[in-house]
Structures are given as structure tokens and as C-alpha cells.
Amino acid sequence: MDNTDSLKLSQQLCFPIYSVSRLLTKAYKPYLDEIGITYPQYLVLLVLWEKDDISIQQISDKLLLNTNTISPLLQRMEKRDLIERNRCHKDERSVKVKLTEKGSELKLRAVPIPEELLNVLITENIRLPEIKQLKSVLEEWITVLSTHESNNK
């Protein structure tokens, strides 16, 4: 193996992860289209369905996104009456995000989505325990890489 073999696409760890991420997002699309939201909006709603009335910073932290990335997304969601944004009374610099009735109601329509996706992923060669193990490894990598990023700022 010469020293440039490590630069082959087939040798890259990141490419299969990137590809799976794109393909998973694409697999979600028909389910999300049914309820009229995009994948990034779904992620924000997942955070808010878990804990409503939180700051933009808390949403950004949970989704590992910069606030300048999430702000336009939240503006579009507010225009669609899924959320409302209000300045925090205790700290005028902070903006809180709260589900509207419409945003809350979408939760019931979204309940079947995770199981539908699991049904797509489970095959003869890939069973639920392997999926859970992969999720665990990926969560550990998120921790490792987030720490690495913080240390290199």
C-alpha cells in the first residue's frame, strides 16, 4: 500500500457516514412531507416536544448547530405557525422558543415516523441490536468530536 492509498474515497471513514446521513434524511422525506415539515424542522420539533419553551441557545446546543444557522429555520417555522419566539423577561438578550397549538398537534402525527424508519433499516443482515449498537457508537463519537472541537477553539 503506497502512502496515497489513505486518500482513496473507499478508505475514508467519513464518506459512508456522510452518505448514510444524506440517505436517511431522504428516507424521512415522504413521512415528513405528509405532515408538511422538513427534516431540520422535525429536529427542532423533536427538541421542543421533549422540552418546550426553551432558549434558541438550548436548541442550538441540543442539535449541535450554531445559532446563526438555526435562526432562519426558526423564522420559517414561526411563519408557518409551528412555534413562537419571545424575548426572555429575565434576560432581554435571550429568545425563548415555544410550540404553538399547531406545532404541538404535529407530535401525534409524527409518532409513527421513528418506527417506519426502523422498518426501512432492519433487514435480513441488519437487526435492531446492531442498529442500537451503531447509535451508541455514533453518540460516543459525537461526545469525542465535540470535546475535540471545544479544545481546538
**pLDDT at residue 1 in the model:** 56
> What are the average pLDDT values for consecutive 10-residue runs of the chain, which has 153 residues?
83 94 97 97 98 95 93 96 89 88 97 96 95 96 88 77
The pTM score is: 0.91
Beta strands in the chain (DSSP E): 54-55, 83-87, 95-99
Question: What structural domains does the chain harbor?
Answer: 12-121 (1.10.10.10)
Phi, psi of 111 (to 5 degrees): -50, -45
Would you tell me how many other CB atoms lie within 10 Å of the CB of residue 136? 10
Predicted pLDDT of residue 105: 96
Q: Which three cell numbers stand for residue 140?
A: 460516543
